[in-house]
């Protein structure tokens, strides 16, 4: 299985830009109604699953600015309380008027599943850098 590692900095504007493709063609995602990102701490099996949900964290997900070209922009630094620094296995699910139960877009949290595993690495702002 391939692995895609994306970086997010707490309290910063860095974004994770994910192009949603089907049959090697970028999809127009401007019709999305919701997106969720489940984060599971790789180093702490006892840690609770973190759910980042556009219905609760509207300023984290943007599917309109680049959505016509299939790009979902995720800015975890916009969360009022971002998850602590760690490497997280992540599962992205997107919803629209047709897929009201959601479509899991990545096959990352189940080992042995084909596809690309998405890992989100959340980092603190380096020491000495003004927030």
**Is there a domain that residue 83 lies in?**
yes
**Is there a domain that residue 31 lies in?**
yes
**Is there a domain that residue 100 lies in?**
yes
| CA neighbor of 90 nearest in space, from 35, 26, 131 | 35
Whichever domain contains 91, its CATH number is 2.60.40
- State residue 117's pLDDT score: 79
**Is there a domain that residue 131 lies in?**
no
- Please report which confidence band the pLDDT of residue 1 belongs to, taking 50, 70 and 90 as the band edges: low
Q: What percent of the chain has pLDDT over 70?
A: 87
**Is there a domain that residue 56 lies in?**
yes
Start-to-end Cα distance in the chain: 37
- Please report which confidence band the pLDDT of residue 115 belongs to, taking 50, 70 and 90 as the band edges: low
Tens digit of pLDDT for each residue in 17-67? 998 888 888 899 999 999 999 999 998 888 889 999 999 998 999 999 999
Domain that holds residue 95: 2-123
**Is there a domain that residue 130 lies in?**
no
Residue 24 class from Cβ within 10 Å (0-12 exposed, 13-18 middle, 19+ buried)? exposed
What one-character-per-residue DSSP string does 5-16 give? EEEEETTS---E
- Per-residue pLDDT at 126 exceeds 80: no
- State residue 70's pLDDT score: 92
**Is there a domain that residue 129 lies in?**
no
pTM of the model: 0.86
**Is there a domain that residue 128 lies in?**
no
- State residue 100's pLDDT score: 96
What is d(CA 115, CA 106) in angstroms, rounded to the nearest whole number?
Answer: 7
Number of domains the chain contains: 1
């Amino acid at each position: 299985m391939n692995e895609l590692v994306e970086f997010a900095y707490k309290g910063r504007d860095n974004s994770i830009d994910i192009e949603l493709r089907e049959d090697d063609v970028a999809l127009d995602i401007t019709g999305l109604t919701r997106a969720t990102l489940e984060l599971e701490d790789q180093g702490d099996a006892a840690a609770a699953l973190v759910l980042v949900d556009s219905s609760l964290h509207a300023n984290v997900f943007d599917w309109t600015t680049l959505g016509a070209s299939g790009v979902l922009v995720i800015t975890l630094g916009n969360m009022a309380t971002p998850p602590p620094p760690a490497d997280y296995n992540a599962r992205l699910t997107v919803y629209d008027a047709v897929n009201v139960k959601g479509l899991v877009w990545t096959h990352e949290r189940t080992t042995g599943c084909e596809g690309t595993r998405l890992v989100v690495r959340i980092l603190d702002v380096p020491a000495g850098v003004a927030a």
